[in-house]
Chains A and B, each alone.
Chain A
Amino acid sequence: MSDTAVETPNVMVMNQLPSSEIVGESPLHHADLASAAATKNEGGVHLRENALQGFLTLRLNPENKDLLASANAVLGLELPTKPLSSVTEGATTARWMSPDEWLISVPGEAAFDLETAFQEKVDGHFSLVNSSGGVTTLVVSGEHVVEMLKKSVPYDFHISEFPAGKVVSTLFAKSSAVIRRLDEQAFELIIRRSFADYIWLWIQDASREYGLVIKND
């Protein structure tokens, strides 16, 4: 068949969320952070799990301006092309991961809708993968959060080197983590599902001298 026409790619999109009678559980479900939150309310490091967010990994060539523009239109934001930067618009955040890759977070229920809309409306050479099940998000903050992070991450946390909005994909206690500074004393850690328990134990240990407060809101 030498005369094959260019076919429209047929991408299977599956809703990863089970029906509403099945309760979603984060990889830290067993840690029962809600009970831990009730026990202590003073300390230098605060931790909150932002569980069950939706994550989409987008890859496309940003040199292709038409493709970039149609992706931006569906996402409702301008994908950041400056290395290590992020853009937030409403409940959607896009993080620069590499010159042709972004990690996009949306509220958990919105991932499937966004994925479906993207596949319908964006035409061209791209890849969009729902990776929501592979990670969880921790928000760490507090007076001593930078000290706790310095023990865990080989990166310079000085505000001049790591300002709010910057995204650094690096290692946290030798496990991969995408770290975004939210403000001077608050950071978002996107960590692998399979390392979530290990990192939870590590943070408890690294925060012991400052006091760890679990937030649940």
Chain B
Amino acid sequence: MLHIYCPHCCEYREEEEFHAKGQAHIVRPLDPDACTDQEWGEFMYFRKNPRGIHHELWVHAAGCRKFFNVTRNTQTYEIKEVYKVGEKPTIVAE
């Protein structure tokens, strides 16, 4: 069970209250009609699957229902940092 800090409620809550929403910082192409099939396919379907540091989007589904980002080690499950949408992570994989 992960213990996750919600940056909007400003406290730790049980994982049960949250949903993981996959990889963070995925930018939708500004002009989808101008995308090649490969560009659109990569935006839609291709995701990182790193061993180690990963930036993820989570939502506090049973709480404030806000989305935020989590930097997590996929190998140890350790949460390195939590930051709001629009902010940049301070911890990145080297």
Q: Are A83 and B16 in contact (CB under 8 A)?
A: no
Interface size class of B (residues with CB under 8 A): 10 to 19
Contact stretch, chosen from B20-28, B38-46, B63-71: B63-71
Smallest Cβ distance from B11 to chain A, in angstroms?
Answer: 7
Interface code B1-27, partner A: CB below 8 Å = 1, 0 otherwise? 000000011110110110000000000
Closest to B62 in A: A171
Interfacial chain A residues near B64, Cβ < 8 Å: 83, 97-99, 101, 169
Distance, CA A98 to CA B66, complexed state (A) = 8
Closest to A154 in B: B14
Chain B residues with CB under 8 Å of chain A are 8-11, 13-14, 16-17, 62-66
The majority secondary structure among interface residues of chain B is loop
Smallest Cβ distance from B71 to chain A, in angstroms?
Answer: 22
Known: A155-B14, A170-B63, A171-B16. 4 other contacts (CB 8 A): A83-B11, A84-B9, A101-B64, A168-B63
Interface residue? A176 (CB, 8 A): yes
Q: Please name 20 pairs of A and B residues whose Cβ atoms are closer than 8 Å in the assembled complex, sorted by A.
A: A83-B8, A83-B11, A84-B10, A97-B64, A98-B65, A99-B8, A99-B66, A101-B64, A154-B13, A154-B14, A168-B63, A169-B63, A169-B64, A170-B17, A170-B62, A170-B63, A171-B16, A171-B62, A174-B16, A176-B62
**Among candidates A83, A101, A154, A174, residue contacting B9 with C-beta atoms closer than 8 Å:** A83
